[in-house]
Structure 1
Amino acid sequence: MNINNYFDEQGSGSPIILIHGSYATASTWKKMVDQLAASHRCISIKLPGHCGTPDPDDFINPTIETELDIVKKVVNSLTEEPVHLVGHSFGGVVALAQALKNNINISRLSLFEPVAVSLLDDRMSTIVQEFLAKYRRDVTAKVPFACGQVIDFWGGKGSFDSLPGFIQEGMEALVDNNIRHWDSEANMDYKLIDFQGISVPTQLICGTKSNPVAHSICDHLNSLIPHSKKYTIEGASHFLVTSHARECLEVLDNQL
């Protein structure tokens, strides 16, 4: 593995590690990085199977350890300083798992709607499982643009249709990787008490228009992680880091 293929870098100063979500790329962070790079060393992770990186080799038994190993290697190859770890959606799950694993030096954790659905209560979990069952059936049946179901589930009805055709086609090619992400999250091995061991300041950020499932996840994490605070961004939904980049930056500037 050439670790240099798994990140983009911009700016100088204290390091921020940014992890994009499923059906996305490192360019997710472009609007934010263009501002952050004036005072920070911004290191944007490229998840396996995305941004031109090779597919992972664990599709049969997916594990988030694949992503955690990449993040650890990137961080250790670039800096010895404590890092501000930032993740969005599935990238938020990776960042959260990295904090639980505690194998890199994290100074702060910022999670934009992490899709840690295993934490949900029975009512919310049923909503996700019913959605996921249909999505999996359609993927198996090779229904065209089944990927749009995920985008609309998290972002709201019509979110996928509003995207340019070339982006929709790029997402269609990532369906197998997305299914792997759902399975990787489901296979995470943790206990609720583990979250109480996250000692760094933690921000949990949702949009006011986001799926109630996303809010439920952030609320639950906020109750478990000792030094955490939940923020909401007015008018935003799941893709807030691109649609409301300025407001997201303002949250990152907040001191807990």
Structure 2
Amino acid sequence: MPSIDYVEAGSGPPVLFVPGSFSTHAAWRPMQKWLAPGYRMIGTSLCGYGATAETRGRDDFGMRHELRIIEHAARRAGEPVHLVGHSFGGTVALAAALANSIDVASLSLFEANPLALLDRQSRRNLYDAVLELSREFSASVDAGEADAAAMIIDFWGGPGTFATMPEALSD
């Protein structure tokens, strides 16, 4: 099995934290101090981040790659997990709960964007727009354009949003 980032701290019922894109399990470290005593914090990273191997191919970006990571971490926990996801990690957490392949004690999503699940819904126009954005973003990254992320930020925040970000954040 390819390597999967997995960290654990504390003891008690497991809380599995799933980070968003461009992030690792380390994004959740500050949450440790806010967890009530008696909970076990489990962190992982999605495909290609932290110590988690990149298993997706150029033509195979399916959710199954991310679900494999969540399923592995949840099974390693050994009991139902409180699943917490942020941004794309929230989408992955939702997909894991919907797949019913792990035991979920609760589900908490923050700024989740379940775009990957839109093709199954009636919001086909939004799905098509996001798919086109994804293609443009990939082409921009492949071309080595340093501000490729601006497309994503401007799509969701409105034209010009990226340009208003502090330089320390946009670099």
Contact 1:148 1:160 survives alignment (8 Å): no
Q: TM-score, normalised by structure 2?
A: 0.78
Pair 1:11–1:164, CA change in 2 (3 A): farther
Could you tell me which residue of structure 1 aligns to residue 148 of structure 2? 146
Pair 1:44–1:137, CA change in 2 (3 A): same
Structure 1 residue 32 corresponds to structure 2 residue 59: no
2:89 to 76, 88, 91: 91
SS for the counterpart of 1:30 is: helix
> Displacement of 1:110 after TM fit?
1.0
Pair 1:137–1:72, CA change in 2 (3 A): closer
2:87 maps to amino acid: S
2:30 maps to amino acid: K
2:123 maps to amino acid: D
Could you tell me which residue of structure 2 aligns to residue 10 of structure 1? 9
2:106 to 87, 108, 121: 108
Contact 1:18 1:44 survives alignment (8 Å): yes
Q: Over aligned residue pairs, what C-alpha RMSD do you find?
A: 2.9
1:150 maps to amino acid: I
User: What stretches of structure 1 of length at least 5 have no aligned partner?
Assistant: 169-256
Alpha-carbon separation, structure 2, partners of 1:164 and 1:100: 38
Q: 4+ runs of 1 displaced by more than 2 Å?
A: 57-60, 119-142, 147-156, 158-165
What percentage of residue pairs aligned between the two structures are identical? 35
2:102 maps to amino acid: I
> Displacement of 1:146 after TM fit?
0.7
SS for the counterpart of 1:111 is: strand
> Displacement of 1:150 after TM fit?
2.2
Matched residue count: 165
1:146 maps to amino acid: A
2:22 maps to amino acid: Y
